[in-house]
Structure 1
């Protein structure tokens, strides 16, 4: 492997302000890519260095169209998403509509915008953020999240099979629990329900066979691989990186 595994590639990342998106943007830049890191939160983007940043709202057709045209990516990493808590009896129609829009339809927007130029060049790698909590494994009180992330796997397979003969690869990543600001928020919320943050952390960690949650950088390493030509024969698959959670 060469040191600069992504040299010459233009990369667009959504939700790059924190967590996996941020770690992946930095990791791909370190491998020589020209990274366009985007987020709806401009303040979060302002702390990123070594990449080009601009605000992009994955819920807006116009914003996505403008952002993709600006980045003209060889690699598209769809990382935007939200985790709702609760079972099917807790889920509201508004919550489900929002999750479908952000967790699934946002990827349709970016892929539709980026795919024509990729097809014209005859090459492109699309990476979608799914989850081990999907059709891979069920997780308690994650009805909306698991439903939408299962849809991402179906979306990924469909795009892959339609365009694999034209130089386009499409894969998705299925992490287990990852230490990130959004996860810390969920820990805090569960801690309020259980009476302490320590009890919440214990509940999250106990379901991980390795006895810990992942770091964002560990997921970013897989993103780099799928973005690079090292994965040129890899398409149409959910890549599970969950510390053995789904293998129990």
Structure 2
């Protein structure tokens, strides 16, 4: 496993779920970790966990739908830590699961694309500008299994946004490869999280067969399994990996392709 110890890392959407899992793992490796999110109390709690684990945490309240706010986040990270070595663009929303294509509203579609796709583009733009000034870095975008295949659970808005994230990833990887900036994507399957677990508990008759169909291992993933992949992609151990969209999903995409 590669090492990212002592680096300056940004995790968007780092106050809960997979984002918080990744932030805590970076902290346990001694990194300087900035997290963003809307909920200040949750952000402060995760920062405390980062500090207790041996890292240095920073919470910045932010909405990635606001371009000026994103630029301010990067400026705050550089001011506090001196540079930006790595970034994980994780912030996103789920949209309208179990809604068929023709039943989706303009409002839901626009919100998902604005957050999951345009928001990631804004973050990448600001991150790349900062990395160019300091000799490079590594970016990891959190896509989804639905960034690789079509959704079979009535989730076209989410699938479109996550396919777009893979496109952004591959394009940036080509644009900045010679300037020492690598860009990759992780495509998680269904994982335990604050977004998934309540749905599983509330609608087991609906979700159980979906999970069974989407997991060759017949289980949900865990946040630490995604986090370990992000650690590797931000480390020098993956120095020749660029423009990849890596499934971390226990094999379900092999059933869906």
What TM-score, normalized to structure 1?
0.91
Q: Unpaired runs of 5+ in structure 1?
A: 192-197
Residue aligning to 1:150 = 163
* Aligned equivalents of 1:32, 1:54: Cα separation in 2: 19
For the residue of structure 2 that corresponds to 1:121, the secondary structure is: coil
* Aligned partner (choices 12, 23, 26) of residue 25 of structure 1: 23
* Aligned partner (choices 209, 212, 216) of residue 209 of structure 1: 216
* Aligned equivalents of 1:155, 1:139: Cα separation in 2: 23
Report the Cα offset of residue 201 of structure 1.
4.3
Residues 137, 246 of structure 1: 8 Å contact kept: no
* Aligned equivalents of 1:179, 1:67: Cα separation in 2: 28
For the residue of structure 2 that corresponds to 1:182, the secondary structure is: coil
Residue aligning to 2:119 = 106
Residues 199, 207 of structure 2: 8 Å contact kept: no
5 Å-filtered alignment, 1:1-248, equals 5-48=3-46, 49=49, 50=51, 51-72=57-78, 73-84=84-95, 85=97, 86-188=99-201, 191=203, 198-207=204-213, 208-248=215-255
Moved more, 74-83 or 39-48: 39-48
Report the Cα offset of residue 41 of structure 1.
1.4
Report the Cα offset of residue 186 of structure 1.
3.1
Q: Deviations over 1:79-113 (max 9, x none)?
A: 01111212211211111111111001111111111
* Aligned equivalents of 1:124, 1:91: Cα separation in 2: 38
Q: Unpaired runs of 5+ in structure 2?
A: 52-56, 79-83
For the residue of structure 1 that corresponds to 2:196, the secondary structure is: helix
* Aligned equivalents of 1:116, 1:142: Cα separation in 2: 33
Residues 139, 146 of structure 1: 8 Å contact kept: no
For the residue of structure 1 that corresponds to 2:63, the secondary structure is: coil
Q: Deviations over 1:111-159 (max 9, x none)?
A: 1112122112221111111011123353321111111100110010000
Q: Deviations over 1:4-26 (max 9, x none)?
A: x2123100111111111000001
* Aligned equivalents of 2:233, 2:73: Cα separation in 1: 22
Residues 151, 159 of structure 2: 8 Å contact kept: yes
Residues 19, 90 of structure 2: 8 Å contact kept: yes
* Aligned equivalents of 1:20, 1:127: Cα separation in 2: 13
Q: Deviations over 1:172-206 (max 9, x none)?
A: 110100110011233356x1xxxxxx324422431
* Aligned equivalents of 2:231, 2:150: Cα separation in 1: 25
